[in-house]
Amino acid sequence: MEQKTSVESPNSTEQKKPVKVITYGTFDLFHQGHYRLLQRAKCLGDYLIVGVTTETYDRTRGKLNVVDSLATRIENVRKTGFADEIIIEETQGQKFNDVKKYDIDIFTVGSDWTGNFDYLKDYCKVVYLERTKNISSTMLREQKQQIQRIGMIGTGRIAGRFLVEAKLVSGVNVQGVYNPHTESSVNFAEKWGVDAYSDREDFFEAVDVVYIASPHETHYRYIKEALEHGKHVLCEKPMVLQRAQAEELFGYAKEQGLILFEGIKTAYCPGFTKLLGIACSGIIGNICNVEACFTKLEAPGTRELTDRRYGGSFTELGSYCMLPVLKLFGKDYERIHFDTITGENGLDIFTRVSLRYPGGIATVTCGLGVKSEGRLLIAGTKGYIVAEPPWWKTTYFEVHYEDSEQVEKYSERFLGDGLRYEISDFLSMINGKDDNGFKLTRGESVALAGMLEEFLKAEGRL
Ligand code: C2G
């Protein structure tokens, strides 16, 4: 008698595995485009996971000036009702792990990313959904916040680099340039397609914020004039060369409700912020020694090596090297000592600064005429952190311990010339978000001006 094996039809009882879909986004200033994307993503399956990016991750991928907090962005996604689960996206490469971790069937994202996630096709289906036209967070950001017209004072090397980086920060536009030498401002303006000003009243009239990249000793009066014209100011380092001047300018800016920012780009770059976070986390114990070195051989004829009063290694590079010292040991050093090697014209081609703090020792080394290893070393009671040059554009650092086998490696992206980070933090301060003010405080800029003043006095140059 024939055995009847009953082949159960699969649909009848066996639970169909829900189709799991995942998508990611910043979802800043939540809008119709985001809504339609999530709606269609949900329709692709039964269970939708939405990854919302952290601000730190957005900064590393060059998305600056995100307005809404992570909590707000998550809440806006939740309110759509399409997401069955919300996770946060923190790092590059996380998608790859999430697809496996959550056993994803379909990865989807808007068509502006077409091709970017094809590498996931080995693990799940990848669907690019048509992007909704004529709406974006950048557009809303610019509607929400007045575009800040930047006026630049100075047409030197950094001015060109600043202009390129400013283009990558939404919410600002470089309007024009002023230089007392009309020919310089006209040539610069023609090259970069901005307006040239030789009259400062017309210049201040035409702009909302001022970026100062003129020679060090002119910073004080240009900052003061710009503040007196009601302009927010971002001034290249060293902001000023005397403590009293820094205190006066910050005091006046505060009084007038204006933002005054010192442009030490390292302070605003994601990698340096991460390094400080690790150093202060306690994993290397109590920090007892900081050694920061920055050398770059300058051509003999440059301003840095010919300006007998304000040139030299320490005024040019000191701000970078003093930053980690101020961040890790503070402003209240017990003793500071300068040792310099000077060139024929009496300018310091190599300067070493030794600082004594209640619980620590710091050494800062700068050189425009002497080449050295150029690293940052932070030593503690349990281990040390080392970042090789160019640590002032922090992309990589290591944590070492007694056990030489145990090495932790950290990396972070540093996009372009890195000025975009200071521009975006400056802009978010202007727009009332001061959650980046800790990166370089007024007190630290004042302390820096004080150190430069002590140095110039010790050198008989002030
Ligand atoms: N989107 C859209 N139409 C718009 C704007 C955005 O369909 N007019 C889509 C985007 O393509 C993306 C999602 O909405 O799939 C979120 O957009 P953003 O918040 O701009 O996020 P995005 O930077 O595109 O992040 O890791 C992050 C992701 O890779 C995408």
Alpha carbons 462 and 456: distance in angstroms, whole number: 5
**How far does the centroid of ligand 1 lie from the alpha carbon of residue 25, in Å?**
5
**pLDDT over 90 (residue 326):** yes
Residue 339 structure tokens: 């040792």
Residue 85 structure tokens: 């689960």
Buried b vs exposed e over 385-423: b needs ≥16 C-beta within 10 Å?
bbbeebbbbbbebebbbeeeeeeeebebebbebbbbbbb
* Ligand 1 nearest-atom number relative to CA 95: 26
**How many Cβ atoms sit within 10 Å of the Cβ of residue 223?**
28
Mean pLDDT within 6-35: 81
pLDDT digits 0-9 by tens, 126-181:
999 999 998 888 788 777 777 899 999 999 989 999 999 998 888 899 999 999 99
Pairing of strands 195-197, 172-178: parallel
Q: Give the C-alpha distances (Å, rounded to integers) separating 57 from 38, 40, 137, 433.
A: 21, 25, 17, 18
**pLDDT over 60 (residue 446):** yes
**Based on C-alpha coordinates, what's the Rg of the chain?**
27
**pLDDT over 70 (residue 4):** no
| Contact in structure between 107 and 95 (CB atoms under 8 Å) | yes
**How far does the centroid of ligand 1 lie from the alpha carbon of residue 410, in Å?**
28
Ligand 1 binding site (Cβ under 6 Å of any ligand atom): 24-28, 33-34, 37, 53, 89, 109-110, 112-113, 131-132, 135-137
**pLDDT over 60 (residue 396):** yes
Alpha carbons 380 and 385: distance in angstroms, whole number: 8
- Show the DSSP H helices in 256-405 as ranges: 270-279, 303-306, 313-329
The structural domains of the chain, with segments of one domain joined by +, span 20-129, 147-263, 267-414
Alpha carbons 241 and 452: distance in angstroms, whole number: 6
CATH class of 20-129: alpha beta
**pLDDT over 50 (residue 269):** yes
Q: Does domain 267-414 have CATH number 3.40.50.10160?
A: no
Q: Do the domains spanning 20-129 and 267-414 agree at the CATH topology level?
A: no
Q: Give the CATH fold of the 147-263 domain.
A: Rossmann fold (3.40.50)
**How far does the centroid of ligand 1 lie from the alpha carbon of residue 149, in Å?**
28
Q: Binning pLDDT at 50, 70 and 90, where does residue 14 land? A: low
**How far is Cα of residue 147 from the mean position of the Cα atoms in its chain?**
20
Classified as helix, coil or strand, 285 is coil
